[in-house]
Structure 1
C-alpha cells in the first residue's frame, strides 16, 4: 500500500537548507521514496488560511518505508535542523479511499 508524506515548511532561518537539500534527497531515495512535489507554488482553495512557504509531497511504497526514513539515524540531524529553523508540519497519509 502506498503512503504519502505531505509536508509544509516555512523557514525561519535558511542556515540549515543547503545541507538538508544535499543529504535528504539521497535518504528519501534510500528508503524507496520519490518526491512528487517540492514547490513554493501552491494555492489554498478552501478552509481557514494556513500559510506555508513550501509544500512537499513524497510518495512511499509502504508506511514502514516512510517510518524508516523518518527514524533513520542519518536523517535525525537534518530533521532537528529543519524543526529548529522552520515552522513545519508532516502528515503521513495512507493511499487508500476508505469512503468508496
Structure 2
C-alpha cells in the first residue's frame, strides 16, 4: 500500500539548505520515493499551531520503502545537516486504496 512521509519544517538558519536540497532528491529516488509536495509559504487554513516555513510530502510504494529511506545512512547524514538549521515534525501515513 502506498505510504507518505509528511513533514513540516521550521527554518532557523539557511546555511545547510544548498547542500541538503542538492542531495535529498537523489536519496529519495534511490528508495523509490518521489516528492509530491516540496515547498515553502504554507498558509494556515485552520488551527492554532505555528505555521511552518516549509512543508513536504514524499510518496513511497509502501511503508517498508519509506522506513528504509528514513533509516538509511544517506538520509540520516543529511538529517544531521538539516537539524543544524531547522526543526522538523514528520509523520508516516498510508494512502487510501
> TM-score, normalised to structure 1's length?
0.88
1-structure distance, mates of 2:10, 2:47: 19
1-structure distance, mates of 2:85, 2:77: 12
Q: Which ranges of structure 2 fall in alignment gaps of 5 or more residues?
A: none
Contact 2:43–2:51 (Cα < 8 Å) also in 1? no
2:69 alignment counterpart = 69
The alpha-carbon deviation at position 41 of structure 1 amounts to 3.3
2-structure distance, mates of 1:92, 1:26: 20
Q: Which ranges of structure 1 fall in alignment gaps of 5 or more residues?
A: none
Runs of 4 or more above 3 Å deviation: none
Aligned residues, how many?
Answer: 97
1-structure distance, mates of 2:85, 2:52: 14
1-structure distance, mates of 2:60, 2:27: 12
Secondary structure (helix, strand or coil) at the match of 1:75 reads helix
The alpha-carbon deviation at position 49 of structure 1 amounts to 3.3
> TM-score, normalised to structure 2's length?
0.90
Q: CA RMSD in A?
A: 1.4
